[in-house]
Structure 1
Amino acid sequence: MEAQIDAQTNTQIDQLLNHAKTIAIIGVSNKPERDSFKVAQYLKAHGYQILAINPLLQEQTILGEPCYASLSEAKQQSGMEIDIVDCFRKADDIPPIVSEAITVGAKAVWMQLEITNQDAAAQARSAGLAVVMNRCTKIEHKRLHNITN
């Protein structure tokens, strides 16, 4: 599935990435070969505070950051506002993530490449959250800043 490219979406993405400080990464892995790890590493290296969310890795750290079981736990323990919830989960797992994102006051839900859930997107938008689907935060950040490597 190819990501839909349009000026309005690009503008929204640019605004999200330019204003975000904290990105919660749902489904982040502690395995360096995994895309979620690579994206988290890239975002951290480019100045974003990352919140690692993976209930299976609850007692570990990823990239020197504590790993939380949920968005609620991350918000409570870190005390940080969550700007973007970056989802590395299958489409069927997105609705409860959106519900929790709304509860913790996140500003946006971002579904990674090949992940779309129209019902969850509608729920997020109706609660005032921005929504990005089928796009990669790392790829979009590189596009925004003309980074080629």
Structure 2
Amino acid sequence: MSAESWGEEAVIRKVLADTETWAVVGLSNNSARAAYGVARLLQRQGKRIVPVHPAAETVHGEQGYASLAEIPFPVDVVDVFVRSDLAGDVADQAVEIGARAVWFQLDVVDEDAFARVRDAGLDVVMDRCPAIEWPRLGPAVPAQG
């Protein structure tokens, strides 16, 4: 599998345009972390973000949950902001909760997890960032920083 197949433009466009609720795994109130800024951008693009972090903090006005399994409503995308060695477990949980897509952030690479998610019928993007892809491939609404 090549790095190019990890972020096929058609899949990226579909995930950005046709989803509403994004569970952001690793999102906390630490504004220095990339997840914080990406979650804010997603909100500004009309997405509902759901913080998923062991601390279960409220972030950007949205209630947090300690795990994906605790979220009491459907999730479209699981956005993975954890180390690569933890990403496979998060991907498997995303499949278990019935998410429609998994997005592995920049430098989060687990080819086996990518294949499992894709084979389960979910859309999957790996080693990409929505904050970078939105201005390039997102819906016609201009990205806001």
What TM-score, normalized to structure 2?
0.88
Moved over 2 A (4+): 144-149
1:84-133: CA deviations, max 9, x gaps? 11000111101111111111100111110111101111111111111111
The DSSP-based 3-state class of the residue aligned with 2:8 is helix
Counterpart residue identity of residue 130, structure 1: D
Equivalent residue, structure 2, for 1:95: 88
* TM-aligned CA deviation for residue 148 of structure 1: 7.8
Is 1:72 the counterpart of 2:69 in the alignment? yes
Answer whether contact 2:39 2:49 (CA < 8 A) is retained: yes
Decide which structure has greater helix share: 1
Identity between Structure 1 and Structure 2 (%): 37
Instruction: Choose which of 60, 70, 75 in structure 2 pairs with 1:82.
Output: 75
For residues 26-65 of structure 1, what are the structure 2 equivalents within 5 Å?
26-55=25-54, 57-58=55-56, 60-65=57-62
Structure 1: which 5+ runs fail to align?
none
* TM-aligned CA deviation for residue 147 of structure 1: 3.9
What TM-score, normalized to structure 1?
0.86
Shift in alpha-carbon separation, 1:45–1:148, aligned structure 2, 3 A: closer
Alignment coverage as a number of residue pairs: 139
Is 1:121 the counterpart of 2:114 in the alignment? yes
Counterpart residue identity of residue 45, structure 1: R
Shift in alpha-carbon separation, 1:10–1:101, aligned structure 2, 3 A: same
